Structure 1
Amino acid sequence: MILTIETLQQTLTILLPLFFLYILSTAIYNRYFHPLRHFPGPFWASLTSLWYCQTIRFGKARNVQHALHRQYGDFVRIGPNYLAVSDPSAIETIFGPKNGAVWRKGNFYDGFDVHIPNARTDSFSERNEAKHSERRRLVASLYTQGNVLKYEPCVDRLIDCFRGKMGELSESGEATDMSVWLTRYTFDVIGEIYHGRREGFGMVRDGRDYNNWCYLMEVMPDIGASVTYLPWGLRTGFFAAHLVFRRARDGLRGMQDVVRQAERSVNQRWNAMQQQDEGDALPNDILTGLLEIVREKGQQVRWTVADVMTEVWAVIWAGSDTTACALNGIFYHLHKNPVKLAKLRREIDAAFDDGRLAYPLRFNDARKLPYLHAVVMESMRVHPSLGFGLPREVPAGGADLCGTFIPENVEVIMNSGAVHFDKRAFGEDADDWIPERWLGDAAVARQMERSMLQFGYGPRMCIGKYISEIEMYKLLPTILKEFEFDLLVDHWDVHAM
């Protein structure tokens, strides 16, 4: 069949009106007949998911949703089938699980599945609760606080390296961007305990961005997250259009490189284990632990080397930049508030003087410093690591949220950048950075902690929480005791990724 210009014109004459009719009818349905039609929100958000997509793409989700909740209340329609919720009392129902039901993750997560052949979906991307629970049970023992403490020597090596680098920079007298060094530190920790590399990827040691992975975290998250909110028919074109820009091409190559590096690290360690002689010691890290599961009971529980590759790949995304964001927030707010910084330094100095702290710092000792803990919690509250919410699907039959009925199959989003500023949970001064709020009544502090979404909540809480905390609580007292920093910016503009 030969497609002539005349035939093409006739086809378009028929299809284009049908296409525009479909778009118009969908918009009319979404605006006037959809189950969410009664919920307030921006006009364009009620017509198309493109509105929410652009807030993610340009890093505005956190600030936009915060403002929307102040304008419209606890429930805001941010897409035809998306509802933003800010009331902290809804957390237990959505993430709890309250009444024994876990709400399924939304379609958003499908876009983050790396699809390594013969491997399970990683814990973050897995939407099936039964499969997620099975996977989590297999690896959970490696992530308990007691087990994670075994990896402190790995973190100690990176902290020693960080101290040395700070000493060099202070002697040079040149200004430096601490956010760069804090990010390199968190990547190197992942390199130590997941990739089996002494001193990590060498980012702190060598003062470089290994394979441009820090740059990758600036480029890809907003593209990858925003595309998941587009209709399926537009996703390929949207992503392809971004490849016109070098940043997007670099990001795509970087994503592929993360997979290759995970495969290489896992295969090297697995081969070493296969050739291991009796009495030979393997590095005591999570990579060994994950592969020990394969060796000891892999066939019985269907845990493979490919599954380990998926775990190592996923943690680059979930465990590096997020911890770096938290550390940057802590560092920024402390130096914007010199009185608070001085108070923390006095606590750290006193702990060293009376022997409660000593080098190398132990996490359990540092975690007992009340003001340090208050600073960490308050900083993660006002500067959460994720700038957008993670959607959950309302189960069959709908659900009651804080006295409001939400129809089934609607995807609800709780953005930590909005929830963490709720005055019902954190007081009338919730907009302000005040670590002392965590030092009052213990019951109030526990209730505030239940309103925090920094590490998620419930059965889906971040499995690497203790690793992140060890990185922060061990590093901060070390560098704040030994070094002084001058803040050279008046304020920062937060770009959510």
Structure 2
Amino acid sequence: MAFEHIHSPASLLVLAIGASVVYLLGITIYRFFFSPLAKIPGPLLTRISNVPEANALKHNQRAAWVTSLFAQNPDAVAIRTGPNSVSFNHPDAVKAIYGHAVSPSGFGKSPWYDAFSTTGESLFSTRSKTRHATKRRMVAHSYSSASLYGFESIIDATLDKFFAKIQPFADAGTPFDIYFWYELFTMDLMGELALGKSFGVLDEGRATRYGTLVEQSQRFANYSGLLPFGKWNVRALSWVPIPSIQKLYKARLEYIEYARQALQGRWDASRQQKQPDGKPRQDIMQRFIEARDPETGKSMDFNELRAECSSLLVAGASTGSVTLNWMTYYLCRNPSTKSEILSQLLSLFPQNSVGVAPLPFNALNKLSLLEHTQTEVLRLHPPIGYATPRDAPPTGTTILGTYIPPYTAVGVPAASIGRKASVYPSPDDFMPERWIDGGGGDLATMKTCFLGFGYGSRQCIGRNVATMFVMKMMGQLLLRYEVELEEPGLVLGAKEFTIQKPERRYNVILRPRKVQL
């Protein structure tokens, strides 16, 4: 009877609950007082919970939250941001965590990336270094110099549409939201490059639901990445019966289906899109479709291409438009820099003084101040401002004298180190010329700490494509118009929607330039 009583369902439930309580109490005491991470400064609640980070994410200020923790602990090189996550803010940490020389067995991408694998692993989301190397090897030629110049005619045609749409605002002197039009431009451009046709948003003058789906889907992925269930994070969060979470999850599903339908059309037409010479149109997706692993001869299947397509559209459209936005804002706030860039443009293109003809990139890329301006705004406002996490090796590691246990997520927030005073003198000031000689800082260290495109083997493979269309856009804009803020004294902060965007919309006024004699 006693034996049966001990093993009754009620008793087993009590035992299970008791064991769970003892376990949770034990792990809490360990994390608070005995874990190697307990010595790392940070809010007390981060020792046992990701709630502080989730709360910062909810309020669109996660990067700013981490930066504020470093400000509160000015002598710390590391801050604890969660039970199993640590952020560093030092140049040596960048090289240790993200550098090319890091051992293949250590500092792999953390489970946070699993939430960004939609229908398969993309170049961005794959955690396997072997698969990443294979994928990068397959598509590297798509971003080569030869390919880059092959995309130029597509960029120029989309720029023509953009300027035709904003010209009426310039003719009338009407203030308008140029960032909105940048978003339409980059969406149509990435549609052309990734899918072989634009989304038509420039023609219609209005955004599609796609932009909202991207933002909400990325937000769901970020929340998922805070859970402790690894590859099951997405499934676990999808079961949470909170209306706001369910809204984000439904947006994720709709986004995945949107990408499937878009790619299906591109896949079916891949052999039908011909150039005048009879060859297939050489946009990025065509090259992905044709890509073969040089070692195995294997190509990507539809789901892999779908994942790459989704990643490409997000990376190109969202980051490109926000970079153009910040460049416009800072150049308006710094007229001397804007005037110097215009002077250099007129020297390079004296026959195109009002920017009507396309600006060939092989000449435009010699304009270093314009490229330095892009770099400077990406330092001040990196698209992803928080730390992209890597797992410490299975044996644990020591970074800057701080012991990190195995599989702890570590990283360097781009927004924090991008404004570190010991690396960048006058870190909050817009100074593109600092990228010439360091501006009082060490130029090599500054370049190490610049994470606007990532770092090491995992940095953005489309960096050159982005730089091309950003410089071509800004070059033509400055040649065509005098650009001014409607509110001359506007001070614009940032909000984080995965991508760091301006905290509010603002207007510019364009005044057409007269022909320079």
Q: Smaller-chain TM-score range? A: 0.7 to 0.9
Partner of 2:372: 374
Contact 1:298 1:304 in 2 (8 A): no
CA distance in structure 1 between the aligned counterparts of 2:468 and 2:80, rounded to whole angstroms: 38
Contact 1:397 1:407 in 2 (8 A): yes
Partner of 2:306: 309
Partner of 1:204: 202
- Pair 1:303–1:222, CA change in 2 (3 A): closer
Q: Which of 309-318 and 127-136 deviates more?
A: 309-318
Q: Displacement of 1:217 after TM fit?
A: 3.5
Q: Displacement of 1:375 after TM fit?
A: 1.1
- Pair 1:132–1:32, CA change in 2 (3 A): same
CA distance in structure 2 between the aligned counterparts of 1:94 and 1:342, rounded to whole angstroms: 40
CA distance in structure 1 between the aligned counterparts of 2:413 and 2:311, rounded to whole angstroms: 22
Q: Displacement of 1:358 after TM fit?
A: 8.6
Contact 2:194 2:313 in 1 (8 A): no
- Quick check: 1:110 aligned with 2:114? yes
Q: Which amino acid aligns with 1:92?
A: K
Aligned counterparts, 1:22-61, within 5 A: 22-61=23-62
Q: CA RMSD in A?
A: 3.0
Structure 1's unaligned 5+ residue stretches are 1-6
- Pair 1:483–1:245, CA change in 2 (3 A): farther
1:78 to 65, 77, 81: 81
- Pair 1:389–1:346, CA change in 2 (3 A): same
Q: Which of 233-242 and 168-177 deviates more?
A: 233-242
- TM-score scaled to structure 1, two decimals? 0.87
Contact 2:46 2:83 in 1 (8 A): yes
Q: Displacement of 1:456 after TM fit?
A: 0.8
1:387 to 385, 393, 412: 385
Q: Which amino acid aligns with 2:136?
A: R
| Deviation per residue, 1:56-111 (Å, 9 max, x gap) | 23321111111111222210011111010010222112111235546200110011
- Pair 1:176–1:22, CA change in 2 (3 A): farther
Q: Displacement of 1:171 after TM fit?
A: 3.0
| Deviation per residue, 1:442-471 (Å, 9 max, x gap) | 994444222211111111111111111111
- Pair 1:314–1:8, CA change in 2 (3 A): farther
Partner of 2:508: none
Contact 1:262 1:312 in 2 (8 A): no
- Quick check: 1:325 aligned with 2:322? yes
CA distance in structure 2 between the aligned counterparts of 1:245 and 1:457, rounded to whole angstroms: 32
Contact 1:266 1:309 in 2 (8 A): no
Contact 2:376 2:430 in 1 (8 A): yes
Q: Which of 161-170 and 357-366 deviates more?
A: 357-366
Q: Which amino acid aligns with 2:150?
A: K
Partner of 2:179: 179
| Paired positions, count | 480
Aligned-partner SS, 1:98: coil
Contact 1:59 1:387 in 2 (8 A): no
Q: Which amino acid aligns with 2:72?
A: Q
Q: Which of 443-452 and 322-331 deviates more?
A: 443-452
Q: Which of 42-51 and 245-254 deviates more?
A: 245-254
Contact 1:366 1:474 in 2 (8 A): yes
- Pair 1:34–1:469, CA change in 2 (3 A): same
Partner of 1:472: 470
Q: Displacement of 1:316 after TM fit?
A: 1.5
Partner of 1:132: 132
| Deviation per residue, 1:29-66 (Å, 9 max, x gap) | 21112221111111111111222222223321111111
CA distance in structure 2 between the aligned counterparts of 1:488 and 1:8, rounded to whole angstroms: 71
More helix by share: 1
- Quick check: 1:195 aligned with 2:195? yes
- Pair 1:242–1:336, CA change in 2 (3 A): farther
Contact 2:217 2:249 in 1 (8 A): no
CA distance in structure 1 between the aligned counterparts of 2:351 and 2:259, rounded to whole angstroms: 47
CA distance in structure 2 between the aligned counterparts of 1:226 and 1:249, rounded to whole angstroms: 11
Q: Which of 359-368 and 152-161 deviates more?
A: 359-368
Q: Which of 214-223 and 161-170 deviates more?
A: 214-223
Partner of 2:3: none
- Pair 1:267–1:235, CA change in 2 (3 A): closer
CA distance in structure 2 between the aligned counterparts of 1:228 and 1:159, rounded to whole angstroms: 37
- Pair 1:456–1:387, CA change in 2 (3 A): same
Partner of 1:400: 398
Structure 2's unaligned 5+ residue stretches are 1-7, 499-517
Q: Which amino acid aligns with 1:333?
A: Y
Q: Displacement of 1:243 after TM fit?
A: 4.1
CA distance in structure 1 between the aligned counterparts of 2:275 and 2:244, rounded to whole angstroms: 52
1:230 to 200, 220, 227: 227
Contact 1:182 1:327 in 2 (8 A): yes
Contact 1:88 1:422 in 2 (8 A): no
- Pair 1:299–1:75, CA change in 2 (3 A): closer
CA distance in structure 2 between the aligned counterparts of 1:89 and 1:436, rounded to whole angstroms: 24
CA distance in structure 2 between the aligned counterparts of 1:290 and 1:410, rounded to whole angstroms: 34
Partner of 2:505: none
Aligned-partner SS, 2:453: coil
Q: Displacement of 1:10 after TM fit?
A: 8.5
Contact 2:418 2:449 in 1 (8 A): yes
CA distance in structure 2 between the aligned counterparts of 1:254 and 1:286, rounded to whole angstroms: 24
Partner of 1:430: 427
CA distance in structure 2 between the aligned counterparts of 1:467 and 1:206, rounded to whole angstroms: 25
1:343 to 335, 340, 343: 340
CA distance in structure 2 between the aligned counterparts of 1:227 and 1:303, rounded to whole angstroms: 27
Contact 1:107 1:228 in 2 (8 A): yes
| Deviation per residue, 1:393-416 (Å, 9 max, x gap) | 111333332343333321102110
Of all paired residues, the percent bearing the same amino acid is: 24
